[in-house]
Amino acid sequence: MLELLPAPPVDPLWDLTAEYAADPRPDRLNLVLGVYRDHTGVTPVMAAVKEAEIRLAQRSGSKEYLGLSGNTAFNDAMLATVLGTEALTSRATAVQTVAGTGALRLLADLVRQTRPGTTVWISDPAYVNHRPILEGAGLTVRTYRWLGPAGRPDDEDLLDDLREAGPGDVVLLQGCCHNPTGADPSFGTWERLAGLAEANGWVPFVDLAYHGLGDGLEADLSPTRMLAERLPEVLIAVSCSKNFGLYSDRTGCAVVLGSSARALRHVETALQNAARTLYSMPPDHGAAVVATVLGDERLKAVWLAELDAMRHRVTANRTDLVAHLAALGHEEPARALARQKGMFSMLPLTPEQMRRMRHRSGIYGTTSGRINIAGVPAHRIPFLARGIADALRTDRSVGHPYGRGPADR
């Protein structure tokens, strides 16, 4: 049987990570994986998380199953954090998932159960796992344009494409800090998207993986809350990997807003049934940590301060990189990078230029041009700027790279 298995494609990110690990150059720089690193290059455990873990260890008395919906205190905390008001949380149900990826898959399964063959629209470029998750659930995927030639969202192209989305379609939108581009639309464009959804009858599916790392937690959540206030149905996949630093604890939540209590009861059961066939029940540790942090006002304040500090460090890295690129004579790429936000930056480099930067300078990013700006030690920013400048000099014959097809995460 196993001899009949065709060679599967290699995951591009982990393939690059393996290449980085085998690279003997001591000054090489790994900007592939989407993890936050501090100024020493370490992904830290947040102080609020450490204190919550100590509390949990002291009072832990059982490892019994949680149930199909997971940690209910965590689910309630996620609803309150993401939606903000009782008026919205009363219209919503939530199920704990195996990270944000698990939330995406459970919600994709829910869409398939509701209407098999549904068309789901994703951005171009998109997070590399969006299409496989959706197609793996049996859904049809179409794309809408995201970036214009200046490396920012092209509002008119975006809206023109989504005017083709009709009743029963689902549109996947990244709530903030777009991956891989770091380019977010204005709040006015979000409002136009809500109006388009109202007029054409499509359902927003919001992927929230980086809230708190763009303009601050409340500002980053405001587009999602606006959609929830204006529309009868919204799907939301929430990850705690980045803003709580719980990468390996795989902590997430699937949230659904509906227009009736009956529909929400059916939704919760459908999500539980989907979870049962995939992994049965989610792990408790990360969810218990988040519930502990958000359930204690002092600990929550510690977490928010740490999250703000992380955001400021990411912003400072990007600002410093922009300044160094401009000083090296690359003002146009610097202006494009300055408009981006969140953990990722989309370099104005072609796949060939990204490969050359990797081979010549030992700077590893995805071939799509994405780098993890949150993973650069501050003292390595000049090195990164020189590597980008060298790659820009090596091939000026190619067209502008913004607006290419689907990109890597």
Reported confidence tier of residue 395, pLDDT bands at 50, 70, 90: low
**What is the average per-residue pLDDT within 206-232?**
98
**What is the average per-residue pLDDT within 122-142?**
96
Q: Count other Cβ atoms within 10 Å, centred on residue 304.
A: 16
Distance CA 202, CA 180 (A): 24
pLDDT of amino acid 302:
98
Top pLDDT among 13 and 80 is at: 80
Q: What is the DSSP letter of 274?
A: H
Distance CA 217, CA 266 (A): 31
pLDDT of amino acid 2:
86
Q: pLDDT (tens digit, 9 = 90+) per residue, 234-248?
A: 999 999 999 999 999
**What is the average per-residue pLDDT within 225-229?**
98
**Residue 254 clears pLDDT 80, i.e. is over it:** yes
**Residue 402 clears pLDDT 60, i.e. is over it:** no
**What is the average per-residue pLDDT within 171-187?**
96
Which residue(s) pair with 98 in the sheet?
251
Residue with the two structure tokens 């690129």: 325
- What SS3 state is found at 181? coil
- The overall average pLDDT reported for the chain is 93
Give the predicted TM-score (pTM) of the model: 0.93
Encoded tokens for 333: 């790429």
pLDDT of amino acid 152:
80
Domains in the chain, ordered, with CATH?
A: 11-44+305-394 (3.90.1150.10), 48-298 (3.40.640.10)
**What is the average per-residue pLDDT within 316-326?**
97
Q: Where are the alpha helices (DSSP H) in 115-186?
A: 130-136, 155-162
Least confident of 2-16, 70-84, 192-206: 2-16
| CA 96 to each of CA 148, 277, 296: distance values in angstroms, whole numbers, following the listed order | 36, 15, 20
Q: What is the DSSP letter of 147?
A: B
Cβ atoms of 294 and 259 within 8 Å: the answer is no
Distance CA 24, CA 126 (A): 32
Reported confidence tier of residue 396, pLDDT bands at 50, 70, 90: low
Reported confidence tier of residue 323, pLDDT bands at 50, 70, 90: very high
Distance CA 135, CA 119 (A): 10
**Residue 38 clears pLDDT 60, i.e. is over it:** yes
Reported confidence tier of residue 257, pLDDT bands at 50, 70, 90: very high
Q: pLDDT (tens digit, 9 = 90+) per residue, 133-172?
A: 999 999 999 999 998 877 788 889 999 999 999 999 999 9
pLDDT of amino acid 367:
92
Residue in 345, 384, 346 with CA at minimum distance from that of residue 362 = 384
**Residue 329 clears pLDDT 90, i.e. is over it:** yes
**What is the average per-residue pLDDT within 70-90?**
97
pLDDT of amino acid 406:
35
Q: Considering the chain, what percentage of its residues have pLDDT values greater than 70?
A: 96
**What is the average per-residue pLDDT within 309-319?**
96
